[in-house]
Amino acid sequence: MLNPAVPGFYPDPSICRAGRTYYLACSSFEYFPGVPLFSSTDAEHWTPIGHVATRPGQLALEDVPATGGVWAPSIRFHDDHFWLVVADAFGRGPLLFTADRAEGPWSDGIELHGVEGIDHDIAWDADGTCYITFSGLVLDGEQSGTHHGIQQVRMDTTTGHALEQPRSLWSGTGLKFPEAPHLYDIDGTWYLLIAEGGTERGHSISIARADHPEGPFHGCPANPIYSHRSTDHPVQNTGHADLVRTDDGWRVVFLGTRPTGLTQAFAVMGRESFQSTLHWVDGWPVIDPITLNPNLPGTKVHTDFDEPLGVEWVSVRDAERGWASLDARPGWMVLQGSTPNTPGPAMDDSHPHFLGRRQQHVRSRYAALIDAADGIGGLSIRYDELHHYDIEIQPDHDTGDYLVRARVRLAQVEQTWERRVPAGPTVLWITTTPVPANGFDPHALSCDTVGFGYGQGPDTTEIADMDGRYLTADTAAAFTGRVAGIYAATGTVAFDWFTYEGEHR
């Protein structure tokens, strides 16, 4: 199997089949559009097709904290319709979306009541009774942080109201944080697949079965049936799985990370989606081991801003994007600054005027040609508002030249470097370069180096470089991954083009 299935920050994969096509949905947290979708004709090679949440009002991301928002969707095809349940954490809460086509448009989403928690799953029995199974984590109120294990209700999908009080189901082998439940009727036996051990290094997959969707469930003697904990496998944190039956067997998708450095300590791109085959032994699934594909092709994507942005572009907590225009200056993306006439680190803001795309390769380069004659703006590589590296440009009206500034923001710590350049449109760039593991060296303990510079060709100049370990899931403690792109701090900033280049090695 091709791995990673979907590289970059696309975690919590859920899979379904409709006819001869397979569909994959992932988490997106505070980024918009929300709930990215992929399709495949072989359940192995995945193509992005859009998002579930593409309109204002479908999600309430405006005030969610970092790593809040879209958590762990479950996508299913039932009764000739697509169904997707998801928690808009700290926003609208548990939601149910429907669509006639996976490509959309999707409904506005109805709020689900009586299923307080996360990681909601949806399933139906032969009589058409709908079951919502979920991880009972309380997110707010006096009991915030309390975990009630795996729970389930029968649900009225028309009104969004539970038809009963939640019942407790099998919650694993006793490892911490049972989550990510998925319920399946497989040839007359009901299976409950969950994750346990936490989404960090102890992450694992466990399963139980019963004669009825409400249980009682009995765990597999081999639980957890899959985990990479305490191994040197290049993929770690494996868990949060979902299953689908294909014409030639079964597939499983799950999240994992690719931590690097001398001690496998830092996952640059956060949690990604992986896949494997599985076979059945004595009525229990056995997941086949995975390997990383060593010869995955790289990419070079050049955006001229001559047409609407592709599905890979996202903003932070902002479904309106009234500050971004492709019409104000044809052939350019024009961004209005988020803090007019107030110089400062725009990417510290919880609502930056920023458009970016996920880092999907361990070796990458981002570049853009920027006209900042009327403002301040540049490029940023972001984990959240407390952890980002930027390079920006601004005119100095007193001297007539421009000032290029590289910035590292690490919580309360800020470091900057500055250079003066001639006035005029300028190419700014950010690179990420893996650190070679050359013996027991302090530099080899890290994951990569992030470089900042300006110019191109023989005029390329690097201003500074920074240890990349501080911009990883392990340091930022985020559920997301690196997202890099363009932003405006003040005034009006125009971008003629943007290029992303990436290599997997």
Q: Which residues are catalytic?
A: 12, 179
Burial class (CB in 10 A: 0-12, 13-18, 19+), 411: exposed
What are the φ and ψ backbone dihedral angles of 74, each rounded to 5 degrees? -125, 125
DSSP 460: -
- Select from 368, 465, 461 the least CA-distant residue to 421: 461
Q: Which two tokens stand for residue 161?
A: 């109201």
Pairwise CA distance, residues 261 & 448, whole Å: 8
- Partnered with residue 29 across adjacent β-strands are 70
Q: How many CB atoms lie within 10 A of CB 218?
A: 12
Residue pair 61/82 in contact (Cβ under 8 Å)? The answer is no
Q: How many CB atoms lie within 10 A of CB 171?
A: 25
Residue pair 96/85 in contact (Cβ under 8 Å)? The answer is yes
- Select from 460, 452, 477, 351 the least CA-distant residue to 393: 452
Pairwise CA distance, residues 115 & 154, whole Å: 10
Pairwise CA distance, residues 360 & 503, whole Å: 9
SS3 469: helix
